[in-house]
Every structure is written in structure tokens, then in C-alpha cells.
Amino acid sequence: MEKEIDFNQPIDRLNTCSEKYDLRQSLFGREDLLPMWVADMDLPSPPFVLKALQQRLLHPILGYSLTPLEVYQAICDWQAQHHYSVEPDQIIFTHNVANGLFLAVQALTRPGDAVMVMPPIYPPFVKAVSLNDRVVVEAPLVFDGQVYNIDWQRVEQLIQQHQVKLLLFCNPHNPSGRVWTREELIALAEVCIQYQVKIVSDEIHSDLVYSPFKHTPMASLSAAVSQQVLTLSSPGKTFNLAGLQIGYAISANPQINAAMQAACARVKIEDLNLMAMVALHAAYSPDGLAWRDRLMQHFSANIERLDAFLARYLPQVRLIRPQASYLVWLDFRALFNDHQALKDWLVNQAKLGLNDGLSYGEAGRGFMRMNIAVSQQTMEQALSQLGVALSKLA
Ligand SMILES: Cc1ncc(COP(=O)(O)O)c(C=O)c1O
């Protein structure tokens, strides 16, 4: 990699149309807080991605574009690191991964069909179902005090009771940070195959898995399982490219693939946008792998900082250590039994803007999600603000 980047220098994002910063007043009621919510990073995108974008902009025409085969191939090569064998003709572009969830629900179910989700869950999973007039069937994960697990009995019982047609599965899971084991995925796939439940596996966080955990793509388990699955992914999280609106879907099942293509065609989604295509191609490269490894070290250090702070000053707050990604799920229930009081304390005393646990469902009551993809300096600032708020605790 050509240039060392210092992840420890804060970058000013004001006046860059950043959702994370510009929504502070309307979401939290004040401008003067440190926003550590929506899942993008306050860290730079890789220089080799920025360079590819700058290079493309040297040409003055940004007309209709056509994604070349080498970009499809870059996706196949990237997925091969996870031992997931993908053919170019199995790839369908979406405009981002959340948009892929909505399209997949339209493609694979009909109005009135039951679709299963596993809360606490990233909110668009639920919206993709309810806004498309399908029925949300919740099979909440079970928290054992350390990690979240699938409630196997409940899943099977609910599938039978509601004749569930589709499972929207988050692999790795947001917000719990859980990386599912191969054994868990096999067991889940078996249940889905038994009851003919198709699976949409959202794998957007799959590149950011902490050792010793390993990501297993649901569709890579076996030929039979791959016939049941539509995978969704993107370089958006790993390389901090959410603003470019990148997403893709993959299915080895010709019927699922055709249904997804038809859903895209109905709303005239055909291709990646030009800048997304250039960025994806540059990111999905050997340089991208090295960048990802450096990022993971930085995230680990920030998680350690947070963990050490909580252990020393706020032992009542439980950090659910993420097995993947830079979103930390925090259990404040031993500190506050009133969720609104917790929110007020974080906003008005700690001056931190975190994701409200309740936005992930009732299972998130008493929890908050903190985005630690920030510089070391910003992380330390956040901890010192928590320290100030501590002294204001009743
Ligand atoms: C599980 C999951 N899927 C999808 C998204 C959104 O991805 P995109 O910006 O590509 O829509 C996120 C963002 O946080 C996410 O956590």
C-alpha cells in the first residue's frame, strides 16, 4: 500500500452533507454532541479507492455507464476469500444493501406472506416487510448475558404457525455483532429447507470479522443450501463508501435470480452507478484486503479503550463484544431501568449521539449501539465525556 494513513487524526466532516453530523439537531435535540450512531466511519476511505475515483473524474463525461465483466469478476474474486464460489452471471446490482432487502422481499414473497426476522435487528429488515404489506414474524434472539443466540424452538414453531415464506437473516448480525458458526448456519438452513423458507442473507459486515471468528456465507454451505439463498453484500461498510450507494445480490438459484432481476427491472434498477463501479473495482483488490486488516486493528484498539473504561468506571454497563464490525451493543439495564432516562443522560450529560436500542425492536430496551469507527482522539473524547456524565449520575 502506497501511503500510511493515520487513523488517529480526527477528520472534520462538517459541510460535507454527512447524515451522521447534519441530523444531530433533529435526532438528539442538540448540535453540540459527538455523533456515534449511523454505521459509517469517521475514518477515511482508502487512498487507492479515492485515487481511482479522482482518476475517473479526469475524464469530463459522466454519461450512462455499463459495468464491465472485470467488475463482476472482482466480486467473484473477493467472495472467494470466504470460500464462496460465485459466477458473474449470478450477480445482480442493487442501489445499496437496504434497497436490496426491499427488492428481495418484493421478489420472493407476495403481499400478506409471513417473513421472519430476528430482533434486535437493523431497522430496515422490519420496514422491508411491513412497508411491502407482508407480515413481520419476530423470532427474537436470546441473550445469555454474553452473546446472542438463535431461539431454535421458537424459530421452528413460528415458521410452522405462520407458514413463513422468507427469512431475512443478518450474517454477521447487526446490532449484536454476532458471527454465526458454520454449525448454526447449517442447522438454520436445514430448518428453512424443511419448511421451504427462502433465505435472504445480508452479509454487508462479513469482511470485518475479528479473529478467531470466521465468516461463513450462508450460500457457501452446500449446493442444496445455495439454492435456497439470495446473498446481499457491498464494499460500502468495509471501505466507508455508503454515500456512493453500492450493493449487489447473488443467487445460484435461477428462479430466485430471475425473480430478483424482475423486481429490479420493475423499478428500472439495472446497473451500478459509475462512481460506485469504479470504487468497488478499486476496493475489491489485494490492497483492499491489507486495508481491511489495518482497520480491524484500529477498531480492536478502540473497543479495548471502551472496554477498559467501562470496567474501571462504569462496571454496570455491559459491553457485548462484537465478533464483527465496528458497532458496539451496550447493555445499560443495570444502570438505568428507565429507557428515556438513559437517553436523556447520554444526550444531555455525556453529549453522545448513539443509536437508540429501541429502534432495533423491544429487545433493545435498555441498550444502545455505539459506532467506534472513529479516530483514537475522538474515542478518547467520547470516554472523557462519559466520565463527566458519570459524576452527574444520581
Ligand atoms: C446489516 C445491514 N444491512 C444493510 C445496511 C445498509 O447498507 P446500505 O448503505 O448499502 O444500504 C447496514 C448499515 O448499517 C447494515 O448494518
Can you tell me whether residue 185 is helix, strand or coil? helix
Name all residues whose Cβ lies below 6 A of ligand 1: 39, 96-98, 122, 170, 174, 202, 204, 234, 236, 242, 247
Cis peptide before 212 (omega within 30 of 0): yes
- Give start-end residues of each CATH 3.90.1150.10 domain in the chain: 19-47+287-390
Contacts of 378 (CB under 8 A, 6+ apart): 10, 34, 42
Query: What pLDDT score was predicted for residue 394?
Result: 65
Cα 233 to ligand 1 centre (Å) = 9
Residue ranges of alpha helices (H) inside the chain are: 19-22, 24-28, 47-57, 69-80, 97-108, 124-130, 152-162, 182-194, 223-226, 254-266, 274-283, 286-313, 339-344, 376-390
Pocket test for ligand 1, best of 121, 237, 244, 272 (most atoms within 8 A of CB): 237
Is CATH 2.60.40.1890 the classification given to domain 19-47+287-390?
no
Query: What pLDDT score was predicted for residue 320?
Result: 97
- Which ligand 1 atom minimizes the distance to the CA of 236? 10
The pLDDT profile of the chain, 394 residues, written as one tens digit per residue, is 445 677 988 999 999 999 999 999 999 999 999 999 999 999 999 999 999 999 999 999 999 999 999 999 999 999 999 999 999 999 999 999 999 999 999 999 999 999 999 999 999 999 999 999 999 999 999 999 999 999 999 999 999 999 999 999 999 999 999 999 999 999 999 999 999 999 999 999 999 999 999 999 999 999 999 999 999 999 999 999 999 999 999 999 999 999 999 999 999 998 999 999 999 999 999 999 999 999 999 999 999 999 999 999 999 999 999 999 999 999 999 999 999 999 999 999 999 999 999 999 999 999 999 999 999 999 999 999 999 999 888 6
- Give start-end residues of each CATH 3.40.640.10 domain in the chain: 61-285
Cα 326 to ligand 1 centre (Å) = 13
Q: What share of the chain is helix, strand, coil (3-state, %, to 5)?
A: 45, 15, 40
Query: For 61-285, which CATH class?
Result: alpha beta
Cα 114 to ligand 1 centre (Å) = 22
Rounded Cα distance, 234 and 16, in Å? 22
Cα 327 to ligand 1 centre (Å) = 12
Query: What pLDDT score was predicted for residue 180?
Result: 98
